[in-house]
Amino acid sequence: MQVDVFARLGEHDGGARLRSIPGLSIGTGFCIRHRGQLSDVKPRTVGLFCGVKVMNLKNFWMVILALMILDFVPFDRNPGLRICIAQDSDTSEIDMNKARILLRRMRQGESLNAEERAYLDRARAARNNRNQGGEAQVEILHGDSIGFKPLIEMTDDDSYLGQEGGLYGEGRNEPPADHHNAALDEIARIEQLDGNGRPDEKGKVVFISISMSNATQEFSRFKQLADADTRKSPDVTIVDCAQGGQAMREWANPDARPWNEADRRLRAAGVSPAQVQVAWIKLANKVPTGTLQQHGEQLQRDATAVIQNAKRRYPNLRVVYLSSRIYAGYATANLNPEPYAYESAFAVRWLIRDQIAGTEVLNYDARRGAVVAPLLLWGPYLWADGMTARKSDGLRYERRDLANDGTHPSPSGREKVARLILDFFTSDPLSRSWFQKKD
């Protein structure tokens, strides 16, 4: 029989041996694996072992055995004993067969009640934490629907892996009042500028994109539609700076190649970096792995660096609109499949929430200190659950809307996303003032 002992030290700790951890102190949590089943060890306390907690008395003897092995058998002579770090998850109470049935019901269009949705959430968290020795293995989801609710349709009562609904959280799809007012102030400062960044009634407002291949395919088509749309202001120059193969991590280095290519594209369009005042950034990284917290926080860190870089290179950049990915349930490779495409939306929210909370690394307000970022807002939310149409606008993604790899948009997919972007900037109250032609 193999008994594995895990010390719960927190999500980011790892690589430690139990013998070197002050683990036998009051309040330390342990869990055990017996015959392949991981048991979350709580809530009873066994004083004999200085605060080691056991799930129930049935497992008490296994804890004793594990501790005896640790105390009396040299670690290096016991290759059968494996020590690793575990994240919080109560997998002992999860019936994965029940969870699969619930997921199948959801994918078939049936509505789950609050208790069933909460159970499915816990099952997803448990599944994502199975690989306790390192990065969690996440199940890749395929099909013309995966049963997830678009963020814009989730209420405050809905949740996904502990994350509430709404673009801005708490079931809201509009920014909080203070951030809305701050956005109005920043947008009011957008004006026509000359090549040196000085106000000029013959100058330009430059609107750029920053991201990877999907974004350039979608934004380049958006530019064509917008330039032909009589609603767009003639003072706005749209430049597609997004580039194939250049996701957030590739833009995170301030001296990286995509920034030089962006400068070249600005020159080709007859404008300068000093005239850039608005940007659209679509968040994604190539081949993400791990749980929402693992890959989501990495995406957030990379995007933070990209946003800071953009502010340094484009000193008059006032507002950045952020978007997450389109549906990826048809993906045939691991470039950015589901659930990673869906979960990229939470990295967008975390960025905006951090800025609202006043984090220095995303400060846009000179009254609070050094300005290192533009103001952040949600741009168009592009995800829909495959063939399941969104309630708000009927958006859905058919297989023909994706290319052969199921990840990049096909011509019909590009058209669909480009029109979503155009609809957003011609209808959003915080965008119309700078994007649309003055009456």
Q: What confidence score (pLDDT) does residue 34 get? A: 34
Q: What confidence score (pLDDT) does residue 439 get? A: 76
**Gap between the Cα atoms of 240 and 260, Å rounded:** 13
Q: What confidence score (pLDDT) does residue 23 get? A: 33
Identify whether the C-beta of residue 271 lies closer than 8 Å to the C-beta of residue 312: no
**Gap between the Cα atoms of 103 and 148, Å rounded:** 9
Phi first, then psi: give them for residue 338, nearest 5 degrees: -85, 145
How far, rounded to the nearest angstrom, does the alpha carbon of residue 153 sit from its chain's CA centroid?
17
What's the predicted TM-score (pTM) here?
0.74
**Gap between the Cα atoms of 74 and 361, Å rounded:** 47
Q: What confidence score (pLDDT) does residue 136 get? A: 64
Residues in the chain: 439
How far, rounded to the nearest angstrom, does the alpha carbon of residue 335 sit from its chain's CA centroid?
15
**Gap between the Cα atoms of 434 and 216, Å rounded:** 22
Q: What does the pLDDT profile of the chain (439 residues) look like in tens digits?
A: 333 333 333 333 333 333 333 333 323 333 333 333 333 333 333 333 333 333 344 454 555 555 454 443 333 333 333 333 333 334 446 776 677 678 767 756 677 888 888 888 887 777 666 544 456 678 999 999 999 999 999 988 899 999 999 999 999 999 999 999 999 999 999 999 999 999 999 999 999 999 999 999 999 999 999 999 999 999 999 999 999 999 999 999 999 999 999 999 999 999 999 999 999 999 999 999 999 999 999 999 999 999 999 999 999 999 999 999 999 999 999 999 999 999 999 999 999 999 999 999 999 999 999 999 999 999 999 999 999 999 999 999 999 999 999 999 999 999 999 999 999 999 999 999 999 998 7
Identify whether the C-beta of residue 40 lies closer than 8 Å to the C-beta of residue 129: no
Residue type present at position 61: W
